[in-house]
Amino acid sequence: MRDILLIGINHKTAPVELRECIAFDKDESSAALETLRRTPFILEALLYSTCNRVELLVVTDDKARAVEAAKQFISGRNNIPTARFENSLYVHENDHAVRHLFRVAASLDSMIVGEPQILGQIKEAYRGAAEAKTAGVILNRLMHRAFFIAKRIRTETGIGDHAVSISYAAVELGRKIFGSLEGKRVLLIGAGEMAELAVEHLIRHQVGATYVANRTFENGLTLARRFKGTAIRFEEIEEHLKQVDIIISSTGSPGFVVTRDQVKPVIRARRNRPIFFIDIAVPRDIDPEINRLDHSYVYDIDDLKGVIEENIEDRQKEAIKGERIIDEAIIRFREWLDGLDVVPTIVALRKKLEAMAEVEIRRTAQGQGMSAEAAEALQRMMGAFINKVLHEPTVFLKKDGMLGDKAAQIDTVRKLFKLDEP
């Protein structure tokens, strides 16, 4: 019996300090999938790691061992003791796992309900699993359904109205701090998707000078040119801290990009003008110790929850419509999944009846001296008879049989007709 399991940790169950310890970058995810592929009782696997969650989706024939393997797998990430994260870990099985995936893909489980980035991140994770050949028949079908459902929810509900993202929340936080962002000078550290979205929102608020710092200068220059900003080199960050009002950081750096020791002399140079850091990276880019300095304020991704709560009520109303769509999708996927177990039995039963019929037709044709035409007519009649005989068992296995123990029903049919005997 194959089971679908989803094992994970997210922003609801664990603080950013814990999430950043077990986060995977793209290269690490590829290596992780290679490891999982070699685990005998894990038949299929997919891993996605974002700033707000790390989740492992597997198909297994041994649930208990798969869960334990997942724990050890997470523990092996930076040698983290299981006891440190076990209470934050959730395990969803079968329909509950499918529901969770659909909700995540549709951004119903996001910190900001309706944000569009998560779907792209999951699609990227699926591409990685496909390349690693760890996604098989079940996960292929499941992921494509997840993408379809996510698109349908965004189309048929208002969940995407006034679209928001982590970047949007970061800009809103800056606006709340200053009252208005008009004329404020901004430094963006990182030139990825998060930074790009942040710039879009900042422009709408008519910010002043915008600087972009990226380890790959060319990428920073590309982003800066698009929005009439100024690209600077990473080495120039400390100097520009003296000029800007808001720093929004979103890199993939393993350690702090801006440290307390860098900021301390900057405060004096700024003559105590406040400086605000908004850190939307996981692992964090901004040293939280900067908060201890006078006139310096650091907000990380968990601090954005307060900004998000103001818009949550309207989105939740639309989310209810999305939940109904998911309820229907789970039933459809379950029917398809149940059919996977049923189909081999139906095919085997048909083959057995056809083989028996073939023997009897040949014997009758030879004994009665039938012509080829008569034998062919007899074969057609027998084919029609087999179809009628199989109709009720097929309906039972595909539909009625699901009301009870499906595995037991299939086993009964296989034993009754001796389908597993040579």
Tokens of residue 401, six digits: 């049989």
Closest by CA to 285, choosing from 209, 188, 219, is 188
Instruction: Quote the CA–CA distance of 232 and 60 in Å, as a whole number.
Output: 49
Cα-Cα-Cα-Cα torsion 266, 268, 272, 276, nearest 10 degrees, comes to 10
Query: Which residues are 246's β-sheet partners?
Result: 186, 276
**Identity of the amino acid at 412:** T
Tokens of residue 87, six digits: 């209470």
**DSSP code of residue 191:** -
Instruction: Quote the CA–CA distance of 152 and 329 in Å, as a whole number.
Output: 11
**DSSP code of residue 404:** S
Look up 21 and say whether it is catalytic.
no
Cα-Cα-Cα-Cα torsion 261, 263, 269, 274, nearest 10 degrees, comes to -150
* Preceding omega of 283 cis (within 30 degrees of 0): yes
Among 36, 51, 59, 280, the one annotated catalytic:
51
The answer to whether the CB of 280 falls within 8 A of the CB of 194 is: yes
- Phi and psi at residue 381, in whole multiples of 5°? -60, -40
**DSSP code of residue 258:** B
- Phi and psi at residue 279, in whole multiples of 5°? -100, 110
34 CA to centre of own chain? 18
- Phi and psi at residue 418, in whole multiples of 5°? 55, 45
Tokens of residue 404, six digits: 């009870």
CA neighbours closer than 13 Å in the CB half-sphere of residue 73: 30
- Phi and psi at residue 47, in whole multiples of 5°? -130, 130
Catalytic site positions: 51
